């Protein structure tokens, strides 16, 4: 793939928390419309790495380039403006509010009446339904409380929300954790739909089989450092599991490793 296709590039990123090295000299890139699986055991530094991409942390050293431009986000809002969205594990949905309110929270559509801005509930309702239907979810009414929805439906609201607001890059943090088998399948289907739109995805998961189903490429991390990088077709899901659990790459797989540390 040519260099012009790259949406996100991270170069030699380090992050320290006191004496702890959370992320140690990690470099990677991401193409348009590509799903990158970020794999690693607990504490491998996956979350810290993506938090730097979405602007929650700043890297202590190293640079991030987004769409060819060097970026330094100071807040998630800034990253969002550029088109980077994150769907958190806890989903950032507010149980006491309905689907529409959640969908548009922070970016409500207004209607001007006599010089005052009021919420345009009708328009928000239509837009919300349209977006959800595109993802394959029938919403009876956007007035329903999100607490009544299933895990997969909740996930789809978050993904739909990110896409609606023009994300170019969506970071998904454990989207299938705590979902039933059927629901997980649905969510993986959404992710494929997202890819079809040319949106890039960074997919963090503990479930290797789930990420193996959707990802194009895998970035493996261990103790904050990059362990290896594999294209999906070069490797099996079981190999990935064995690499992560051992923390090292089998010599016979080393030839497929895209990065040579």
**Residues at the interface with other proteins (CB under 8 A):** 76-77, 80, 88, 90-97, 101, 105-108, 110, 116-119, 140, 145, 147-150, 153, 161
Q: Which is nearer to other proteins, 34 or 174 (CB)?
A: 174
Q: Which is nearer to other proteins, 110 or 248 (CB)?
A: 110
User: What residues contact residue 26 under an 8 Å CB cut-off, 6+ apart?
Assistant: 10, 12, 13, 14, 45, 49, 62, 221, 224, 225, 226
Concatenated DSSP letters of the chain: --GGGEEEEEEEEEEEETTEEEEEEEEEEEETT-EEEEEE-TTSSHHHHHHHHTTSS--SEEEEEETTEEE--SSHHHHHHHTEEEE-TTTT--TTSBHHHHHHTTS--EEEETTEEEE-HHHHHHHHHHHHHHTT---S-TTSBGGGS-HHHHHHHHHHHHHHTT-SEEEEESTTTT--HHHHHHHHHHHHHHHHTT-EEEEE-S-HHHHHHH-SEEEEEETTEEEEEEEGGGS-HHHHHHHHHHTS--TTTGGG-S---
Q: Which is nearer to other proteins, 137 or 215 (CB)?
A: 137
Q: Which is nearer to other proteins, 148 or 261 (CB)?
A: 148
Quote the least distance from Cβ 103 to other proteins, whole Å: 10
Q: Which is nearer to other proteins, 21 or 91 (CB)?
A: 91
Quote the least distance from Cβ 189 to other proteins, whole Å: 19
Quote the least distance from Cβ 62 to other proteins, whole Å: 25
Calculate Rg over the CA atoms of the chain: 19
Quote the least distance from Cβ 96 to other proteins, whole Å: 4
124 with 155: CB under 8 angstroms?
no
Quote the least distance from Cβ 61 to other proteins, whole Å: 27
Q: Which is nearer to other proteins, 178 or 261 (CB)?
A: 178
Q: Which is nearer to other proteins, 97 or 259 (CB)?
A: 97
Quote the least distance from Cβ 150 to other proteins, whole Å: 5
Quote the least distance from Cβ 226 to other proteins, whole Å: 27
């Amino acid at each position: 793939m040519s260099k012009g296709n790259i949406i996100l590039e991270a170069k030699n990123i380090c992050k320290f928390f006191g004496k702890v090295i959370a992320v140690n000299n990690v470099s990677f890139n991401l193409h348009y419309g590509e799903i990158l699986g970020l794999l690693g055991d607990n504490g491998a530094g996956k979350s810290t790495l993506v938090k730097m991409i979405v602007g929650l942390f700043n890297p202590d050293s190293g640079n991030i380039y987004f769409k060819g431009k060097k970026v330094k986000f100071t807040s998630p809002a800034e990253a969002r403006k550029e088109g980077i969205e994150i769907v958190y594990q806890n989903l950032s949905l507010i149980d006491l509010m309905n689907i529409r309110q959640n969908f548009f929270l922070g970016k409500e559509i207004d209607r001007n009446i006599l010089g005052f801005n009021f919420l345009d509930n009708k328009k928000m309702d239509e837009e919300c339904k349209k977006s959800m239907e595109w993802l394959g979810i029938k919403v009876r009414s956007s007035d329903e409380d999100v607490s009544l929805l299933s895990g997969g439906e909740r996930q789809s609201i978050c993904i739909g929300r990110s896409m609606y607001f023009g994300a170019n890059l969506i970071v998904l943090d454990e989207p299938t954790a705590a979902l039933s088998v059927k629901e997980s399948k649905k969510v993986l289907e959404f992710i494929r739909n997202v890819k079809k739109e040319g949106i890039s995805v960074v997919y963090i998961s503990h479930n290797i089989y789930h990420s193996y189903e959707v990802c194009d490429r895998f970035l493996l991390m261990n103790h904050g450092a990059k362990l290896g990088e594999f294209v999906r077709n070069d490797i099996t899901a079981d190999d990935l599991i064995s690499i992560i659990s051992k923390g090292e790459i089998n010599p016979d797989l080393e030839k497929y490793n895209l990065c040579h540390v």
